[in-house]
Amino acid sequence: MSDLTQETTSAVASSWTTGTVREVEHLGENFVKLRLEVADRHDHVPGQHYVVRLRAPDGYTAQRSYSIASDPADPLVELMVECLPRGEVSGFLHDVVEVGDELEVRGPIGRWFVWGGTTPSLCVAGGSGVVPFVSMMRYARRTGTEHLLRVVASAQTRQKLPYVEELEEFGAFIALTRENQPLPDGSERVAAHIYPDELVPLAEGVERAYVCGSVGFVSFVGRSLGEAGVRSDTVRVEQFGPTG
């Protein structure tokens, strides 16, 4: 962690505000995309997250963090939530929330796992870990800095990778672990985790790597990045998912 320079001086929103749900889209069985209109909104930097707080009639509250998928210039804040079995907050956001609902939100939060559009970077995502990178990709496209961002996304199947079309359009490298994939040259990538060999060309010339996914995924990718020659002190990590 040698590079502690801040890419942003944006203040963390210090108070809770209202996010009014303007769009709800269910994607497959497991994902829900929520687009919120946030009152008193502060600009975010790609990679930051919001906290969503739910409040029961008896005063009980539950709050969880969700990465922002949208570009900072998007008038709405987009979240992509994976529904976990027996998940208290994700289950509610998936099954109950409708257009017009108001959620308590706070953000944007986090100044470490952020990409300011200037550092050549490699992003490696597992499953719903793609969300912060979608914000980075959208930002890169708008500002013409795509050449500074390389994205690798891994999931069991295409179905389980949110934003898969957008990732493909961006030119992301996609690794499916339970499905063979046809490649543009007519051959096939056999279902497997990301190989260090696959990371080597992508890691060339990058000054920073971002890894986001489950605990197991992060440690696997950490080792692979090491084998691909990426220095561990250039790697920034965000972990989703339940345990470790």
Q: Which spans of this chain sit near ligand FAD (rule: CB under 6 A)?
A: 49, 64-67, 80-82, 84-91, 128, 131, 238, 240, 242
The verdict on 112 binding other proteins (CB under 8 A) reads yes
200 binds, among other proteins, ligand FAD, none (CB under 5 to 8 A by kind): none
Q: Which is nearer to ligand FAD, 47 or 117 (CB)?
A: 47
Looking at residues 38 to 57 of the shown chain, list those that interact with other proteins (rule: CB under 8 A): 53-57
Q: Which is nearer to ligand FAD, 93 or 174 (CB)?
A: 93
Least distance (Å) from other proteins to the CB of residue 54?
A: 4
Q: Which is nearer to ligand FAD, 100 or 242 (CB)?
A: 242
Residue sitting closest to ligand FAD (CB): 87
The verdict on 4 binding other proteins (CB under 8 A) reads yes
Phi, psi (rounded to 5 degrees) for 183:
-105, 160
Least distance (Å) from ligand FAD to the CB of residue 113?
A: 7
Q: Cβ–Cβ contacts within 10 Å for residue 20, how many? A: 16
Interacting residue with other proteins among 148, 218, 224, 228 (CB under 8 A): 218
The verdict on 180 binding other proteins (CB under 8 A) reads no
Q: How far apart are CA 90 and CA 97, in angstroms?
A: 10
Q: How far apart are CA 53 and CA 105, in angstroms?
A: 6
Contact indicator for 65, 113 with CB cutoff of 8 Å: no
- Long-range Cβ pairs for the range 153-157 (8 Å, 24+): 153/124, 153/125, 153/126, 154/124, 154/125, 154/126, 154/127, 154/193, 154/194, 154/213, 154/217, 155/126, 155/127, 156/127
What one-letter code names the amino acid at 227? E
Separation of CA 150 from chain center: 14
Q: Which is nearer to ligand FAD, 81 or 218 (CB)?
A: 81
